[in-house]
Amino acid sequence: MPFDNRLQKNSLAAQAAGLPAAWRAAFDTPVVARALADVTAHVEQRLADGAVVYPATPFRALDGLAPSDVRVVILGQDPYHGPGQAQGLAFSVPDDCKRPPSLRNIFAQIAQDCPGTPLPRGNDLSRLASQGVLLLNTSLTVEDGQPASHAKRGWETVTDALIALVARDPAPKAFLLWGAHAQAKRALLPNNSGHLVLMANHPSPLSARRPPAPFLGCGHFAQVNAWLADQGKTPIDWTTEEGDVRQGEFGL
């Protein structure tokens, strides 16, 4: 049985109110506060109408990770729209869930960037979040079987504010912008901020190998770690000793 990743009625507003003050600061402006209120009202109404909405914890990407703790930002679009998939972390699904194609390509690129290093057999990316990788979707909820169903309802204004909050932190971050949707957020990153900004196609099989900037072969994971090392910071452990999936299994 897949785990129950359905959002419950009347829980979204409570989750937003329960965020740490450092994150809630992103909602201080009237425009963002109104967007959050609007999308919350829409989601709660859809739940009242009987819609199934995922995930159970839309703000999970912010759990246990202060804005100042963020070292790398990876942006997704909206949550997976099937039962037992979305966890509130972009691109992540539970370990016992079938690996989505985009995540498979992400692991393939990690294998290429870290040759000979065991990779996880599971699919839960919480281990990256615990190292300061913000895995943020630009829409935080979705309805069952309806991708992008909560896009343009206010989430983008909310998550833009979260991205801008992270980008204003004095410590430089690495931003991995995959695909046109994520690359549109480049405008939120201040010039001369010292951030590392890497762009490539989306890891979806529809675009991962296509020009002008194929995701497969982009080398982003190795570039991030080299950049962190140059600053005297601990690199991200993109892999784990618990797995035994190696480069050859991805056909690279």
> What is the share, in percent, of the chain residues with pLDDT greater than 90?
88
70, 141, 157 from 58: Cα distances, Å? 18, 6, 15
Q: Which pLDDT score is estimated for 240?
A: 64
- CA atoms of 95 and 1, how far apart (whole Å): 13
Question: Other C-beta atoms within 10 Å of 112: how many?
Answer: 17
Active-site residues, by number, are 78
- CA atoms of 101 and 93, how far apart (whole Å): 12
The pTM (predicted TM-score) of the whole model is 0.93
Any idea what the Cα angle at residue 174 is, between residues 247 and 192, rounded to 5°? Answer: 145
- CA atoms of 215 and 133, how far apart (whole Å): 19
pLDDT in tens, 208-238: 999 999 999 999 999 999 999 999 999 999 9
pLDDT in tens, 69-111: 999 999 999 999 999 999 999 999 999 999 999 999 999 999 9
Residue 242 burial by CB count (10 A; 0-12/13-18/19+): exposed, middle or buried? exposed
Top pLDDT among 251 and 167 is at 167
Contact (Cβ atoms closer than 8 angstroms) between residue 53 and residue 7: yes
- CA atoms of 58 and 89, how far apart (whole Å): 8
Residue 239 burial by CB count (10 A; 0-12/13-18/19+): exposed, middle or buried? buried
Q: How confident is the model at residue 121 (pLDDT cuts 50, 70, 90)?
A: confident
Q: Which pLDDT score is estimated for 137?
A: 97
Averaged pLDDT, 21-34:
97
Contact (Cβ atoms closer than 8 angstroms) between residue 79 and residue 89: no
Q: Which pLDDT score is estimated for 247?
A: 38
- CA atoms of 215 and 206, how far apart (whole Å): 11
